[in-house]
Amino acid sequence: MSILADIFSATILFMIPLLLVALGGMFSERSGVVNIALEGIMIIGALCSCLFLRALDDSGFGPAHPQTAMFLAIVVAALTGAVFALLLAFASVNLKADQTIGGTALNMFAPAFAIVLTWAIQGQGQTTILIPTWSRITQETLGVAVKQNFWQAFLFKSFYQTTIWAVFLFVIAAVVLYKTRFGLRLRSCGEHPQAADSVGVNVYRMRYAGVFISGMLGGIGGLAYTLAAGSAFQSTVAGYGFLALAVMIFGNWKPLNILGASLFFALFKILSSYSGSIPFLPKFENIKASEYIYLMLPYIVTMIVLILTSKKSRAPKAEGIPYDKGRR
Amino acid sequence: MRQTKRRSIHIPGGTSILASLISIGIGLVFGLILLVILNTKAAGGAFVSLVTTGFRSSDKFAKVLYQAAPLIMTGLSVGFAFKTGLFNIGATGQYTVGAAFALIGAIQFQLPWYVCVLLSLIGGAFWGVFPGLFKALFNVNEVITSIMFNWIAMFAVNLTINNLPMMLAKYWGGAQMDRTANLAQANPSALIPRLGLDTLMHSNYMNISIFIAVIFALIAWVILSKTTFGYELKACGYNRNASLYAGINAKRNIVFSMVIAGAFAGVGGGLYFLAGTGQYTLLKQLLAAGFNGIPVALLATSNPIGTIFSAFFVSYIQVGGDAMQPDFVKEIIDIIISVIIYLAAFALLTRELLSRSKMHREEEAESVASADAPAEKEEVSQS
């Protein structure tokens, strides 16, 4: 039973960054800007928030008020991610540049910048930023009595504030996109910017907003990934930004589908790391290093699902095309 | 209408080279500023070694050429797909599969080097089939397929190499379990020939791979610029609907374009690992070499001949970056390259402005000429 709790809690832990970042990508693409820079945005968000957490840990504020500090770190991740994303918005909206070029530049910049900055702050060769242990929410934090059962393992083994915020942000994202005037305008800019412009919507501003929101969510996602991946930030998010892009397409650019897609992908990913201890999974004893079969599985399954659902897949019509007022 | 068409297809080569050079200049200045901020005392010396190391001695220059060869190949891969309007972010997967095919041929089957290079081409092309086919048949975005197949490639290659006992260094008396055999021990005939260049340049890194890569760049240029097939590919890239209307089979061209792009990347992997100076390590990370093809292609604006020079430049400052250590991290190079790529966005804009003003001048000349001789105007608009 406890292994089941472990699997569930690990699945949710890894699902959160995918969900947040894919939602971020959704906002950007729905406004018409292909955001391939999610990977870099995640790294910048994680870098700044982890440095911030270290600073709070050193100053003594962190250990004294752990969850307030954590909340502030999330804000830092969101803001730095968003500011970094503005570079993409500037290139693709103002300069009308190819959006993949700008995104690639940012993806290349972010990990290198993270390493350079970490060295500059922590000294030569120190490329990891340790995350303070107080960042986790435990039963002590909430004042609940310590018990050893399924729910304890499920809820508190790896519980961070990012999980709570992800749930909030998911609901807000869905409501904003479908139930507000802003969401309607944003979507129209991704479908037919000329039409949107003709009724007085400022396409440039909407696209800036879309990229800005995607930067916020991407930055928080970067922090969430770092918390999920281990106890330190090592200037990488291991391709999660690209995976989130895949999850977004898999989720058909719709919030609820993205939720399902990220859960699906995270579950398969966790199954691969627990494959040894799950009794009913085949063990492939004749094959050496059979763990690679399970590691491949999430990617293969996603591919198959994408092919099966490709008929229904519909990208925002105007994504990737710079909007030029003078063009018909 | 005629003007816009001309503008997008005939961007003058001179302005695009100028624009790239300006971006490189600004990128290097940015790098210098960064160095000064990080460590003012060591900055000057480090910057000098960054820009001069590659040419300072023959062995450093050999290293530049050695690293440039796979970069040319992955750059060609990304650029070739760009020309067809596809973003091949899967070069790293194709590179990995190409490397694996070459190494399996070399170590497990003891084949000579030219067969191994051919195998790497087949391996890369095989991995390029998937994004192309899925895009053509099921309309799955090639970016997502490529990303998925990057990871599948890496895990599949690790799985395969683990299950071929001869592949690992341990079989050949090496100590490590986690990497493939040293080619010099396992099969010296699979090493890419050095033709005495290594003694000439005093470097183990020197072999003929740079010449092979340049030949492939020329092949890519011929395909794109001199054949009907290449014209069709580019037509699909410029405007898919128009090319469909003109009777071009866009689906077939998507698959072919990705297969050729994959083949280029695969050869890159083969050239790198058949040099014998690097062993394939079984990691759970994607190889960065494939991703480095993206900036190379962007800097060359996807022009195959330009790719040779941009790969050389990237390799050159990487060697310079290694020489800046230990005062500075070599990742500063990546920052400089990323700034240059970002500036390429500006460059596109300035290029557009430059060519527009040039066209304006031409048009004025044209109208003056046509005022004198109306018959000539007919001729101009026909051409």
CA–CA gap between residue A11 and residue A259 (Å, rounded):
13
- Residue B351: pLDDT band by 50, 70, 90 thresholds? low
Q: Say yes or no for a CB contact (<8 Å) between A303 and B89.
A: no
DSSP string, A65-107: SHHHHHHHHHHHHHHHHHHHHHHHHIIIIIS---HHHHHHHHH
* Per-residue confidence band for B366, with pLDDT thresholds at 50, 70 and 90: low
Domain ranges of chain A: 2-130+167-309
The answer to whether the Cα torsion of A33, A37, A43, A48 is positive or negative is negative
Distance CA B182, CA B240 (A): 47
Interface test with B, best of A39, A84, A87, A109 (most B CBs within 10 A): A109
Q: Which two tokens stand for residue B129?
A: 């089939």
In this structure, are residues A308 and A78 in contact, taking their beta carbons and an 8 Å threshold?
no
CB A45 within 8 A of CB A232: no
- The domain made up of A2-130+167-309 has a fold known as ABC transporter involved in vitamin B12 uptake, BtuC (1.10.3470)
More confident residue, A312 or B332: B332
pLDDT at residue B364, rounded to an integer: 65
pLDDT tens, N- to C-terminus, chain A (328 residues) = 677 888 888 899 999 999 999 999 999 999 999 998 999 999 999 999 999 999 998 888 888 888 889 999 999 999 999 999 999 999 888 888 878 888 889 998 999 999 999 988 887 677 788 888 888 877 767 767 666 677 766 777 778 889 999 999 999 999 999 999 999 999 999 999 999 999 999 999 999 999 999 999 999 999 999 998 877 888 888 888 988 988 998 888 999 999 999 999 899 888 877 776 776 677 677 777 778 888 888 889 888 888 888 777 778 888 878 887 776 5
pLDDT at B9 over 60: no
The letter for the amino acid at B61 is: F
**Which pLDDT belongs to residue B381?**
41
For residue range A101-135, what is the model confidence (pLDDT) as tens digits? 888 899 989 999 999 999 888 876 777 888 888 88
A106 contacts B87? CB cut-off 8 A = no
Higher local confidence (pLDDT), B383 or B260: B260
The DSSP line for B188-242 is GGGSPP-TTHHHHHT-TT--THHHHHHHHHHHHHHHHHHSHHHHHHHHHHH-HHH
- The angle at the Cα of B30, spanning B28 to B33, to the nearest 5 degrees, equals 110
Nearest CA in chain A to B178: A289
pLDDT class of B370 with cuts at 50, 70, 90: low
- Tens digits of residue pLDDT in A211-246: 999 999 999 999 999 998 877 888 888 888 988 988
Residue of A nearest to B333 (CA): A112
Mean pLDDT of B44-68: 89
Name the residue with higher pLDDT: A299 or B278.
A299
Distance CA B190, CA B279 (A): 13
**Contact (CB, 8 A) for B31 and B47:** yes
Contacts of A180 (CB under 8 A, 6+ apart): none
Q: Does A115 touch chain B (CB under 8 A)?
A: yes
How much is the average pLDDT of B27-42? Answer: 89
- Which residues have a Cβ under 8 Å from the Cβ of B379 and sit 6 or more positions away? none
Transcribe B8-19 into DSSP letters: HH---HHHHHHH
Nearest chain A CA: its distance from B210 CA (Å)? 25
Cβ contact, residue pair B334, A243, below 8 Å? no
Res A21: pLDDT: 96
Window 48-107 of A: residues touching B by CB (8 A cutoff) are 87, 91, 95-98, 100-102, 104-107
CB–CB contact A300 B158 (8 Å): no
Q: Which domains does chain B have, with CATH numbers?
A: 63-327 (1.10.3470)
How far out from the chain centre does Cα B76 lie?
4
d(CA B141, CA B112): 38
Kindly determine whether residue B342 and residue A105, on different chains, have CB atoms separated by under 8 Å: yes
Higher pLDDT residue, B141 or B153? Answer: B153
Whether the per-residue pLDDT at B226 is higher than 60: the answer is yes
Q: Could you report the per-residue pLDDT of B167-197, keeping only the tens digit for each? A: 888 788 777 778 888 888 888 888 888 887 7
What mean pLDDT is predicted for residues B243-269?
92
**How far is it, in rounded angstroms, from Cα B321 to Cα B332?**
7
A183 to chain B nearest CA, in Å? 25
Residues of A in contact with B155 (CB under 8 A): 292-293, 295-296, 299
A178 in contact with chain B, both atoms CB, cutoff 8 A: no
Q: Is pLDDT at B288 greater than 50 in this prediction?
A: yes
**Rounded distance, CA A111 to CA A117, Å?**
10
- The pTM of the full predicted model, rounded to 2 decimals, is 0.86
**Looking at beta carbons, which residues of chain A come within 8 Å of B156?**
292, 296
Calculate how close chain A gets to B146, using CA atoms only, in Å. Answer: 10
Give the residue from chain B lying closest to A291, CA to CA. Answer: B159
**A292 interaction partners in chain B (CB closer than 8 Å):** 155-156, 158-159, 162
Are the beta carbons of A111 and B334 separated by less than 8 Å?
yes
Q: Does B342 or A311 have the greater pLDDT score? A: B342
